[in-house]
Amino acid sequence: MTTMGTALIYDEEMTKYKLLWVDPACKIEVPERLTASYEALVRNGLADRCVSVPVREATDAEILRVHSVEYLEAVKKTPYMTLEDLKEFTLQYGDVYFHPNIYHCAKLAAGSALQLVDSVMTGKVRNGIALVRPPGHHSMQSAANGFCVFNNVAIAAHYAKQKYGVKRVLIVDWDIHHGQGVQYCFEDDSSVLYFSWHRYEHQKFWPNLRESDCDSVGKGSGTGFNINVPWNKVGMKNSDYLSVFFHVLLPAAYEFCPDLVLVCAGFDSAIGDPEGEMCATPDIFAHLTHLLRNLAGGKLCAVLEGGYNLTSLAQSVCQTVQTLLGDPLPQLGNLSGPCESALESLQCVRSVHRQYWSCFKHAADPPSFDISTKRAKLAEKEEERTEIVEKEACVEEMVWPEPPKRVSPPVRAALLLPSHVACPERCQRINASALDPLTVSKVKESFLKHGEEHVALQTFSGLITLLEKMENNEICSGLALVSDVTTAMMFVVHHVAAAFRKRLLVVCVGKGKVPSHLTEDGNLLVVQISSEHTDEQTSKYYVPVCLKKGCSDTAGFLQVVFGLLLPLAYEHNPSLVLLVRTAESGVCDGMWQQLTGMLQSFAQGHTLVLVQEDDKACVIPTASTLLGDPAPPLEHFEASLSEDLEAVERLRQRLQADWKLLQMTAPESGGTAEC
């Protein structure tokens, strides 16, 4: 069995330092950031569900992997400084403050990240979060910066490599500031892939560095292993964040194939934050976390960075932790597609990285406008300051609904299996024979209507039971091993349309007839991935994808999942997912588990999986992912056939007019993107 559990690292000691003088730049970094986050976890019953791991101080040797002796020795003196000395010491750095107790806290913050790495790497827990102060990602070899003293995550990455022989570390920095300290630390290192998105505004936003732009891709053998996504406008929304995950981070991350994922988990990228001024809601972090959950076999360590609106911060932390614990995801409605400015960034990043990553090989050219011209143009508009001040005032009054409670159904996975197939542990077997007369008559009605007499009445009734239990939230997901998967799929689609009128997503892996004729009302979206060529379709709701090598082509399959399936699914926002694996689909267990895992982003985890009876070997791996176990990492895979990638790309281009989350290039006009 895979390791369970989520580590939570928190110690009140890290609330015991604060700003002792007046400094408008630093007044937002307060001890309450930690207490508000922790108390929200306690209040929502989440702290109790985590494994509490104690903090420790990072040792000098550990800190010195990232920082210089001179810097460490200088920081070591701060506990003995007078207020005046502290103020003066602080002056040599940017946007940071010192306090007699901050050195102690900084050692605990870095040590917390190391304790988290230990807990995850030894298998004590599956994943975890460290709530720490001071944050880390701005601090550099010989400088404190941006509220950061030691670079907690950079120290943790070195530690994981040294102590556990981890070969590849992915660092995802979703804080709204550029973690330049992390970038500098691993710039020439191909064993650490650093991804950061950040408010940039063409270098107008702190820390105003040229090297935060997307053309900083790393150096020497680390070239290509630094991915920067600048946000050139404020007000970015859930769609913008998701688009960057689908079209930039996830393809590169899967190609990189990390052994460990570290998250610079700053929540100043959420709505209401005075620094970020973005509009993504706290529940987006549930999805961002989930989308990273199947990398590195689920080994994910999140370490707190920024987050300055206490309400937004606490909600975002809860959403992250609840996903680490494996609870069903909240549904994200109203995804509008990325704004023009986000598309420009997306296009820039993909085009500069196309020479380093095969997943971006077919990325479009950079946007036609000249970026440097744009930068100069922006410098002219310096007087727009007053407007910015007004915007800030607006942000402070910003309100958003509290994310709804995420309830876990009592049963996570229910299985409908022929009597000769054993039910895997932790799953509930659905007994299809005990049916009330009403249900029986319903089954018969459908049974007669479609004349599918070769499929047992028992199977139909069992499927209805699964659907009803999902509808009533008694079970989260279901798996049915059936003798005729195509008929079972048709039956479920008809039944769902008639009985529940839900928005349904059907994902069919492998050849065979699919209910493509039922998509007129817009409630049903069908995506089929197979080696079978289908005539070019015109319906926006029927998406047949053909891969020459079929579903065994891992690179092609991932391209389809990130480039098409996930964006379509998020935009469709189904209330039920039907995942169908036809006979001889050719999909390998690993890819199948990845897919099953990723589809749990939707419909609050309500997925019904249909598998052909001869495929019973996949029951155990499928059940495992339905139960929330992370999928095993996909081993090194070959680049896909060029013609396949081009075909997928043509399909994406054809569909992007109808499905905005498929877009990855800005409209030709360029120049004055508005959000």
* Binding-site ranges for ligand Q9C (CB under 6 A): 25, 95, 135, 138, 146-148, 175, 177, 206, 266, 268, 275, 305-306
Question: H helices of 93-176, where?
Answer: 102-121, 152-164
What are residue 269's phi and psi, to 5 degrees?
-85, 0
As given in the structure block, the two tokens for residue 550 are 């079929």
- Report if residue 177 touches Zn ion, rule: CB under 5 A: yes
Tell me which of Zn ion, ligand Q9C, none is bound by residue 25, counting a contact when its beta carbon lies within the kind-specific cut-off of 5 to 8 angstroms: ligand Q9C
Residue 146 or 462 having the CB closest to ligand Q9C: 146
Please report, as a single letter, which amino acid is at residue 262: L
Closest residue to Zn ion, judged by C-beta, is 306
- Report if residue 175 touches Zn ion, rule: CB under 5 A: yes
Q: How far apart are CA 300 and CA 135, in angstroms?
A: 18
We find the least distance from the C-beta atom of residue 278 to Zn ion, in angstroms, to be: 11
Residue 181 or 251 having the CB closest to ligand Q9C: 181
Tell me which of Zn ion, ligand Q9C, none is bound by residue 200, counting a contact when its beta carbon lies within the kind-specific cut-off of 5 to 8 angstroms: none
We find the least distance from the C-beta atom of residue 152 to ligand Q9C, in angstroms, to be: 10
CB 663 within 8 A of CB 338: yes
276, 385, 567 from 391: Cα distances, Å: 12, 10, 31
Q: How far apart are CA 628 and CA 592, in angstroms?
A: 14
Give the per-residue contact string, 301-320, with Zn ion (x = CB under 5 A; - = no). Answer: -----x--------------
Residue 208 or 441 having the CB closest to ligand Q9C: 208
Sign (positive or negative) of CA dihedral 261, 268, 331, 49: positive
Residue 160 or 270 having the CB closest to Zn ion: 270
Of residues 99, 138, 178, 495, which has the active-site annotation? Answer: 138
Listed in sequence order, the residues at least 6 apart from 550 whose beta carbon sits closer than 8 Å to its beta carbon are 510, 530, 531, 585, 586
Closest C-alpha to 157, from 181, 176, 133: 181
Count of residues interacting with Zn ion (CB under 5 A): 5
Give the per-residue contact string, 461-480, with Zn ion (x = CB under 5 A; - = no). Answer: --------------------
As given in the structure block, the two tokens for residue 313 are 């911060």
Closest C-alpha to 509, from 585, 400, 457, 564: 585
Residue 138 or 247 having the CB closest to ligand Q9C: 138
We find the least distance from the C-beta atom of residue 555 to ligand Q9C, in angstroms, to be: 36
- Report if residue 181 touches Zn ion, rule: CB under 5 A: no
- Report if residue 266 touches Zn ion, rule: CB under 5 A: yes
Tell me which of ligand Q9C, Zn ion, none is bound by residue 553, counting a contact when its beta carbon lies within the kind-specific cut-off of 5 to 8 angstroms: none
Residue 30 or 51 having the CB closest to Zn ion: 30
User: Could you tell me the maximum CA-CA distance found in the chain, to the nearest angstrom?
Assistant: 87
Closest C-alpha to 510, from 587, 455, 436: 587
Bond from prior residue into 134 cis (ω within 30 degrees of 0)? yes
We find the least distance from the C-beta atom of residue 65 to Zn ion, in angstroms, to be: 23
CB 271 within 8 A of CB 282: yes
Tell me which of ligand Q9C, Zn ion, none is bound by residue 95, counting a contact when its beta carbon lies within the kind-specific cut-off of 5 to 8 angstroms: ligand Q9C
Stated as kind and residue range, the H or E segment containing 378 is: helix 371-380
- Report if residue 11 touches Zn ion, rule: CB under 5 A: no
Q: Answer yes or no: 138 catalytic.
A: yes
Residue 30 or 456 having the CB closest to ligand Q9C: 30
Please compute Rg for the chain using Cα positions: 25
Closest residue to ligand Q9C, judged by C-beta, is 306
Tell me which of Zn ion, ligand Q9C, none is bound by residue 649, counting a contact when its beta carbon lies within the kind-specific cut-off of 5 to 8 angstroms: none
Listed in sequence order, the residues at least 6 apart from 153 whose beta carbon sits closer than 8 Å to its beta carbon are 113, 136, 137, 171, 173, 179, 182, 262, 264, 303, 305
We find the least distance from the C-beta atom of residue 181 to Zn ion, in angstroms, to be: 12
We find the least distance from the C-beta atom of residue 157 to ligand Q9C, in angstroms, to be: 17
Overall size of the chain counted in residues: 675
Output 666-671 pairs: Cβ under 8 A, ≥24 positions apart: 666/340, 666/343, 666/344, 666/346, 666/347, 666/367, 667/340, 667/343, 668/368, 670/344, 670/367, 670/368, 670/369, 671/369, 671/374
Residue 176 or 493 having the CB closest to ligand Q9C: 176
CB 208 within 8 A of CB 299: no
We find the least distance from the C-beta atom of residue 306 to Zn ion, in angstroms, to be: 3
CB 601 within 8 A of CB 569: yes
Residue 398 or 641 having the CB closest to ligand Q9C: 398
- How many CA atoms lie less than 13 Å away from 201 in the CB half-sphere? 22
Spacing of C-alpha 276 from chain mean position: 19
We find the least distance from the C-beta atom of residue 579 to ligand Q9C, in angstroms, to be: 39
We find the least distance from the C-beta atom of residue 187 to Zn ion, in angstroms, to be: 20
What are the residue numbers of the active site?
A: 138
Per CB under 5 A, residues contacting Zn ion are 175, 177, 266, 268, 306
